[in-house]
Amino acid sequence: MGRSRATGNHHRKNIQNFVWKAVICRFGIPRVLVSDNGKQFDNPRFRQFSQELGIHNHYSSPGHPQANGQVEVTNRSLLKLIKTRLEGAKGLWPEELPSILWAYRTTVRIPTGETPFRMTFGSEAVIPVEIGLTTFRTSAYDGTEK
C-alpha cells in the first residue's frame, strides 16, 4: 500500500523523514522503494540513507510517468477524492488528507476485489459506521486476546 502525507514541500530532508516515519517505522525496512526521478529521491544523501538500510531504489522513467502506472492511477483517484471533498475550501486539504486516505484504503479496488487495507493487514478495518453495530467483525472480536 502506497504511503501519502502532506509534506508542505518536497525538500530532501522532509522526504527522508517521511520514508523513515511513514514507511520504515510503521512497516519495517522495504527491500525496494519505487519512486519518480525527483531530486528528493535521487540524490547522494537519500541514496546513502537507502544504502545504509539495504533499500534498493528503483525509479520510473522521467519522460514516461505511465511506467509508474499504479501510482498514477492512485494519484488520480486521490486527487478526485480531494477535489470532491473540499469543493471551495482548497486550503484545508492537509487536514482532510487522513480521512480521504482512510476512505481510499477501505474501499474495494476493482482489479483486486480487495481493499488496500486488507491487502496490507490481512483483515478488513472496522469502519466508524460499524461502531456500536453488531457485525461479524465486531461480534467476533475478543478484547481479552492479544
- pLDDT tens-digit series, residues 27-66: 889 999 988 778 888 899 999 999 999 999 988 776 666 6
Residue 47 pLDDT: 92
Distance from C-alpha of 87 to C-alpha of 76, rounded to nearest angstrom: 16
Cβ–Cβ under 8 Å, residues 14 and 7 = yes
Go through the domains of the chain in sequence order and give each one's CATH number: 1-59 (3.30.420.10)
Q: Which helix (H) or strand (E) holds 33?
A: strand 32-35
- Using pLDDT thresholds of 50, 70 and 90, give the confidence band for residue 74: confident
Helix 93-105 crosses helix 69-86 at what angle (to 10 degrees)? Answer: 120
Residue 93 pLDDT: 77
CB count in 10 Å sphere of residue 76: 10
pTM over 0.75: no
Residue 61, all three cell numbers: 522513467
Residue 114 pLDDT: 93
